[in-house]
Structure 1
């Protein structure tokens, strides 16, 4: 859809005109991962992967959130786009503009020929990604990742993004993996003891999947120091959070080593007689 808007619709304002022109020129660089639209198809919300900046330092541009509002009577289109580090944060931007978070969590299957090399030329299922940097060809790898993403999409103004950077590039793992992190400040009242959150997203080239992990810290300095020490060969464990709430995990109390003694009534002082 995004490649024909420029020709078929008139831009509603100068910003829309620039975006529609850019999408028309660069349509082949965007791969739709998930989408939502309203009941009469006049409003569209699109999460896409972007390969325009693959391998460049500005990794926050690898996912895109596109919001389109169409006026069929005037044949005009109001268009806005935000680039983000991850699909989850692209969905967050769109949900705040009216998208259904459940719809944006239903990812489209990858095409059989994601690199457009022709059927039979590239066996995607056998080879996975050409490089770990091909984020637009990935999907969530496990239930925990999907749960954290769902919370991100619905989080409103709960989080403030403080930093987002490459944790390690693919060349240090011989092209097998790469990872990026987002450092957040959490305003949830129950997060007072662990206000600063690191979300680490890792792309696995061979499986064409990404996984998301998360941990809470007491200070921004502690969180940033943990992120600065990320080593692809040995990543320190994150202070656990509940994936559905993002709050510190409830501590588990160890089971008692001995069973409690069976209840016995106290002995009577003497038998009651009349």
Structure 2
């Protein structure tokens, strides 16, 4: 789909033409992870970007591509957004009309994604060759999938304040790397803890990524938590519910025990004159 757009379709506008040329020249660098197509001929594509390697400024690991075709005129309108994670790429596409359930169905990876020949120095790698190869990673657990699904469907609930690499694979002997996103949560029930940190970690040997999330009372508290992220282990994030993204409701201690009723003394008191 990506590599034949330029040859088979004319651009509907200048921006589409620019994107089509970029996609044609770099099509081999986009690894499709999930896609959706509707009855109107629109394509919604989530891809990993091989050109974004594991560096502190690598905030374009995922790419969202929206293609709307005019079958009569043989033209297409193309828009593209670079994002830090697949979840936020899906959010951009859902807001443009994609089916969030379709984007949750990730394409399975081939048994040998690097197309290496068996034997010798080209033997198949275990998991990912590098933890920075985000394009070959997939969600690693149910919590990650639940948080991603909420992100895709969140509309204008969140505002991305900042994002950054937490640590690179060089800090973990190639085992993993991580990025974080700081969000402002506009949900009415998040009034006391609006600042949300999402930490996504790519695990090389398992070829998966996991997503953690926590909410803070102030932006300063959230930022201070990110400063303490360490490749050897980070402090736990303040708990949030994966489905709602809201802090857990405080536990009820139950009604206070009623004071004991007054009991008169069993022996009558004697008064002396």
CA separation in 1, counterparts of 2:199 and 2:229? Answer: 10
Q: CA deviation at 1:253?
A: 4.9
Q: Which residue of 2 aligns with 1:203?
A: 202
CA separation in 1, counterparts of 2:55 and 2:14? Answer: 28
Larger radius of gyration: 2
Q: CA deviation at 1:119?
A: 6.0
Alignment of 1:246-257 (within 5 A): 246-253=245-252
Task: Look up the SS of the partner of 1:60 in the other structure.
Answer: coil
CA separation in 2, counterparts of 1:134 and 1:179? Answer: 12
CA separation in 2, counterparts of 1:236 and 1:254? Answer: 27
TM-score, length of structure 2 as denominator length: 0.89
- Mapped contact 2:179–2:201 kept (Cα < 8 A): yes
Task: Look up the SS of the partner of 1:249 in the other structure.
Answer: coil
TM-score, length of structure 1 as denominator length: 0.89
Q: CA deviation at 1:254?
A: 7.2
- Mapped contact 1:113–1:122 kept (Cα < 8 A): no
- Mapped contact 1:68–1:77 kept (Cα < 8 A): yes
Q: Which residue of 2 aligns with 1:19?
A: 19
Q: Which residue of 1 aligns with 2:225?
A: 226
Alignment of 1:180-191 (within 5 A): 180-191=179-190
Q: Which residue of 2 aligns with 1:32?
A: 32
Task: Look up the SS of the partner of 2:59 in the other structure.
Answer: helix
Q: CA deviation at 1:111?
A: 1.9
Task: Look up the SS of the partner of 1:61 in the other structure.
Answer: coil
Change (3 A) 1:55 1:68: same
CA separation in 2, counterparts of 1:39 and 1:136? Answer: 28
Residue by residue, what CA displacement relative to the aligned partner does 1:197-218 show, whole Å, maximum 9, x if unpaired?
0000001000000000000000
Task: Look up the SS of the partner of 1:59 in the other structure.
Answer: coil
CA separation in 1, counterparts of 2:131 and 2:251? Answer: 37
RMSD: 1.7
Q: CA deviation at 1:114?
A: 1.7
Residue by residue, what CA displacement relative to the aligned partner does 1:28-66 show, whole Å, maximum 9, x if unpaired?
1000000001025x1000000001121333221110000
CA separation in 2, counterparts of 1:63 and 1:115? Answer: 19
